[in-house]
């Protein structure tokens, strides 16, 4: 009798029906869960013991105005807490032909903002024929940072040159969405506090292009000497009425053991030497 009842419960072809198969799978899942429950670790314990840390861009960003344009520079080190995850990251994102975005803070959040801005203004250019000014780009980024209200930490600089007005513009955007236009220069990132006094003393409103490039390079070198989150090589871009131009900088200028000597800084008995890349 039992055998006949089992045969009646089976579907044609000798397979279990769909409902019976689901019941069997659920029973196995419950059994496996109960068997491993004694050695299971609570989710709260896992999240507290090994938190997922975002990739941060503890960095040094510099933007300096000069006669006829603006010079921007950044180092290339990206870190996760105390671990250097990328030695040669690009922290200067081109948005238009005459405007760039300098990124510091959470790498994922700043990359999303930069890519969204680039695609938005590219679409406006080809569909509507509108070329935004530096101020319009900065206000768009400010609105994006303010409205998204993500948990990530961002600190941005928007710099560029307006061909119509023939003016250099530099804006800083904070995490809260505050937008401030800088007069002569702007710095951001973890290494910025080490070079504020140096730039205050040397930057004027009547610099030549070569002088601005040299000041930008020296400022990043000084920040790398003191800031553990800044390092690698530095990237420098010149923006003027002709567009963007990358300034070639030798890698040896960063990884050499020669200490940096800057006019205006008193030498010490034990001068700092250049840090080697990890």
CATH assignment of 56-255? Answer: 3.60.20.10
Q: What is the pLDDT of residue 59?
A: 85
The H-or-E segment that residue 148 falls in is: helix 134-148
Query: What pLDDT is recorded for position 278?
Result: 36
Per-residue confidence (pLDDT) for residue 187, from 0 to 100: 95
pLDDT band at residue 29, thresholds of 50, 70 and 90?
A: low
Given a contact cutoff of 8 angstroms between Cβ atoms, the answer to whether 224 and 275 are in contact is: yes
CA–CA separation, 147 vs 129, rounded Å? Answer: 27
Q: Which residues are annotated as catalytic?
A: 59
Whether the full predicted model's pTM is greater than 0.85, yes or no, is no
CA distances for 234 relative to 36, 76, 131, 163, 188, angstroms: 52, 6, 29, 27, 15
Q: What mean pLDDT do residues 124-149 have?
A: 89
Q: Report CA-CA distances (Å) from 158 to 30, 44, 270.
A: 56, 40, 38
Least confident among 7-11, 27-31, 138-142, 260-264: 260-264
Q: Which tens digit of pLDDT belongs to each residue from 249-264?
A: 765 455 443 444 444 4
pLDDT, tens digit, for every residue of 158-205? 999 999 899 999 999 988 889 999 999 999 988 999 999 999 999 988
Longest dimension (CA), the chain: 104
- Tell me what pLDDT residue 4 has: 53
pLDDT tens digits, one per residue of 89-99: 889 999 999 99
């Amino acid at each position: 009798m039992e055998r006949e009842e089992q045969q009646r419960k089976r579907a044609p072809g000798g397979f279990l029906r769909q409902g019976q198969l689901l019941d069997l799978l659920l029973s196995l899942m419950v059994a496996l869960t109960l068997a491993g429950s004694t050695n299971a670790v609570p989710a709260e314990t896992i999240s507290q013991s090994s938190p997922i840390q975002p990739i941060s861009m503890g960095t040094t960003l510099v933007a300096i105005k000069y006669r006829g344009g603006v010079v921007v520079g950044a180092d290339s080190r990206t870190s996760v807490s105390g671990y250097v995850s990328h030695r040669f990251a690009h922290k200067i994102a081109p948005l238009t032909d005459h405007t760039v975005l300098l990124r510091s803070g959470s790498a994922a959040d700043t990359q999303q903002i930069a890519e969204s801005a680039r695609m938005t203004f590219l679409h406006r250019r080809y569909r509507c024929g509108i070329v935004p000014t530096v101020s319009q780009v900065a206000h768009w980024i400010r609105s994006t940072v303010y409205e998204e209200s993500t948990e990530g930490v961002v600190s941005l600089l928007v710099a560029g040159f307006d061909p119509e007005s023939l003016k250099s513009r530099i804006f800083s955007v904070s995490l809260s969405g505050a937008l401030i236009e800088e007069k002569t220069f702007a710095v951001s990132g973890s290494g910025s506090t080490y070079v504020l006094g140096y730039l205050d003393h040397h930057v004027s409103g009547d610099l030549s292009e070569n002088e601005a490039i040299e000041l930008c390079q020296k400022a990043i070198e000084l920040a790398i000497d003191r800031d553990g989150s800044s390092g690698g090589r530095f990237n420098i871009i010149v923006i003027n009425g002709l567009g963007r131009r990358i300034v070639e900088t030798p890698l040896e200028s960063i990884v050499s053991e020669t200490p940096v000597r800057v006019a205006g800084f008193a030498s010490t008995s034990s001068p700092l030497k250049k840090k080697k890349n990890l």
